[in-house]
A and B are shown apart, each in its own frame.
Chain A
Amino acid sequence: MEKMLLPDIPDYHKIDVYESHGGYAMLRKALKMKPEEVTDEVKKSNLRGRGGACFPTGLKWTFMPKKNDKPRYLCVNGDESEPGTFKDRQIFEFNPHLMIEGTIIACYAMGIKTAYLYIRGEYNNWIKMVQKAVDDGYAKGYIGENILGSGFSTNLYLYRGAGAYICGEESALMNSLEGDRGYPRVKPPFPAQYGLWGCPTTINNVETISNVPLILKMGWEAYTKIGATKHHGPILIGVSGHVNTPGVFEMPTGVLLTDIIYKYAGGVPGERRIKAIIPGGSSTMIMRGETIEGVTMDADGLKAAGSSVGTGGLIVMDETTDLIKVITRITKFYYHESCGQCTPCREGTGWMFKILKRFENYEAREGDIELLLDVANNIEGNTICALGDAAAWPVQSMIKRFRDEFEKRIVKSSVSMSPALA
């Protein structure tokens, strides 16, 4: 497949190079269409969100109220903080204009006059790169007043976060953008009804928005022919951990996990066996190495295998990996990032971390596996936002698929065993 999100064209991040390869032509095209026609094109393309939930983008856009005198907003989500995820950064650096073009087209489709691009605070160098691209976009008349003489106007502003994973959750992002602590909001009401400052708002991931010009360019029908049958298009997969050539790879959806690992990412160092993988960022369910054969990287493929695409951050762990250490570290992360509003998440993540520490130190007691599972089950589904679930799933799946790893570390007698003695 020809690379479209991250094409191999030198200096593509510069506006004149982008234009010379047909950049911003789709904005021109969109501005000549009716806004509903643009939304319809995206809907028919069946584009699904790349921010973690695979939610149909066109459908999300139709949730915006038709008639409403209030201002309306678009938030482009560039918080990118899920462990194992590092793809949106590539778009900021190598193809910011595609994202900007998609953003303005989305604004046109939904009648939005202000878009905010929220980028995590740590990415300050990338914020500067994107700001340069936005400034160039304004200078060329692709953003701002009366875009390309169409009469349509919209502004695009960057917003810098300040270090909080939870601000990637859409309602927390809105609170953060309003200048508050990034606490997730209770839903409903959903953002399309009650978003930024109580006005209709749509939130889309950076990579999702970047797909929009591609759909207009090839037409929805051609787009649906790329990749898997119910989850199409180009997708950015970030491969990290125990592989020879880690990195972000553009590919169609539906590629075999084994091809991603062995063909794209150069295989496992020392030809070691794969013990486990996490397919889509730290919150997706862990899989045993021997079960990845034949599984494809798309919503259905991973669902059938008992996991999910998430953010497309594939983490590979070879046979030398201490999985208890992995799950303890992941849980520590969720404990650290819980905003503390809901008791099951605030307390539960802390308890899970404490119990897992006992396993890590070979000090777990009889009943600790059941206790850990019980805590995880009590978090799942009982919280305001999905961070609770994101913390529970890795623990639940690790126990389900690697119970032996836990059992090995339970102290049977009153004498605690060190690994050397076990």
Chain B
Amino acid sequence: MLSEKSLQRIEELKKRYPSQRPVVLEALWMWQEEHGWVSDEGMKVVGGLLGIPAHEVLGIVTFYTMYNRKPVGKHKIEVCTNVSCMLRNSERILKRIEDSLSIHVGETTPDNQFTLVEAECLGSCGTAPMMQIGDEYYENLDENKVDTILRELK
């Protein structure tokens, strides 16, 4: 289920649009925030609240890359490997994280603390290489910085 606070917020958001459907992205965000990922149940609940058939909610969830369709680690690490970051050695950053956590891109550590993924450009090209963990941006990275960040999160 969704928290009372989220349910209230959804009611408020409905007033912003001529139909209630546009609230779906925000409602899925709320679900993900509360549960960590968007399960079948989450899609059913959100669809039910907004009158959207379950298969359409699935279509929406799978279209947008930021919704997790599977549980992920407590910290989802997204390393940008697009062109500006690549030119400033994002590959080395990725490698360092893989080595340090003993996982590959796409995997989660056995203790469910970290999931590592590659990201497309995150709008931080001038402070490349960079990664995002949760909402936070970590910029101008080098291997030492990566070590410190991981140590602090562990």
Residues on the A chain within 8 Å of B22, using CB: 159, 177-179
Name the residue of chain B whose CB is nearest to the CB of A336: B120
- Does B96 lie at the interface of the complex (its beta carbon under 8 Å from any beta carbon of A)? no
Stretch at the interface among B56-64, B97-105, B143-151: B56-64
Name the residue of chain B whose CB is nearest to the CB of A183: B63
Report Cα–Cα, A197/B23, bound state, in Å.
14
Stretch at the interface among A99-107, A222-230, A299-307, A323-331: A323-331
Q: Check B123 against A80 for contact (C-beta < 8 Å).
A: yes
Most buried by B among A84, A179, A242: A179
Stretch at the interface among A22-30, A43-51, A121-129: A121-129
Q: Among the listed A157, A181, A282, which residue makes an inter-chain contact with B83, where contact means beta carbons less than 8 Å apart?
A: A282
Q: Among the listed B29, B87, B121, B126, which residue makes an inter-chain contact with A160, where contact means beta carbons less than 8 Å apart?
A: B29
Residues on the A chain within 8 Å of B109, using CB: none
Q: Among the listed B24, B83, B124, B135, which residue makes an inter-chain contact with A179, where contact means beta carbons less than 8 Å apart?
A: B24
Report Cα–Cα, A112/B118, bound state, in Å.
40
Report Cα–Cα, A125/B135, bound state, in Å.
6
Residues on the B chain within 8 Å of A65, using CB: none
B106 to chain A, nearest CB (A): 14
Binary B-proximity of A18-57 (CB < 8 A = 1, otherwise 0): 0000000000000000000000000000000000000000
Residues on the A chain within 8 Å of B64, using CB: 121, 161-164, 182
Q: Check A321 against B87 for contact (C-beta < 8 Å).
A: yes
A155 to chain B, nearest CB (A): 8
Would A333 and B66 be within 8 Å (CB), given that A160-B26, A179-B60 are in contact?
no
Q: Check A162 against B120 for contact (C-beta < 8 Å).
A: no
Per the CB 8 Å criterion, the residue count for chain A at the interface is 55
- Does A246 lie at the interface of the complex (its beta carbon under 8 Å from any beta carbon of B)? yes
Binary A-proximity of B17-34 (CB < 8 A = 1, otherwise 0): 011011111101100000
Q: Among the listed B29, B84, B135, which residue makes an inter-chain contact with A315, where contact means beta carbons less than 8 Å apart?
A: B84
Q: Check A180 against B83 for contact (C-beta < 8 Å).
A: no
Binary A-proximity of B120-140 (CB < 8 A = 1, otherwise 0): 111111111000100111000
- Does B88 lie at the interface of the complex (its beta carbon under 8 Å from any beta carbon of A)? yes
Which residues between 240 and 293 of chain A lie within 8 Å of chain B, taking CB atoms?
240-242, 246-248, 278, 282
Report Cα–Cα, A153/B32, bound state, in Å.
35
Q: How many A-B residue pairs have CB under 8 A?
A: 135
- Does A170 lie at the interface of the complex (its beta carbon under 8 Å from any beta carbon of B)? no
Residues on the B chain within 8 Å of A313, using CB: 125
Residues on the A chain within 8 Å of B37, using CB: none
Name the residue of chain A whose CB is nearest to the CB of B64: A162
B100 to chain A, nearest CB (A): 23
Name the residue of chain B whose CB is nearest to the CB of A247: B126
Report Cα–Cα, A409/B137, bound state, in Å.
38
Residues on the B chain within 8 Å of A317, using CB: 87
- Does A58 lie at the interface of the complex (its beta carbon under 8 Å from any beta carbon of B)? no
Q: Check A329 against B81 for contact (C-beta < 8 Å).
A: yes
A280 to chain B, nearest CB (A): 13
Residue pairs across A and B with Cβ atoms less than 8 A apart, 18 shown, are: A83-B83, A85-B121, A89-B123, A121-B66, A122-B66, A122-B122, A125-B136, A160-B26, A178-B19, A178-B22, A179-B19, A179-B50, A238-B126, A240-B126, A240-B128, A246-B127, A325-B86, A330-B83
Known: A162-B29, A165-B120, A181-B60. 10 other contacts (CB 8 A): A86-B124, A121-B64, A155-B16, A157-B16, A160-B26, A179-B50, A278-B83, A282-B82, A282-B83, A313-B125
Closest CB pairs A-B (n = 5)? A163-B66, A162-B64, A163-B65, A179-B21, A240-B125
User: Chain B interface (Cβ within 8 Å of chain A)?
Assistant: 16, 18-19, 21-26, 28-29, 50, 52, 59-60, 63-67, 81-84, 86-88, 120-128, 132, 135-137
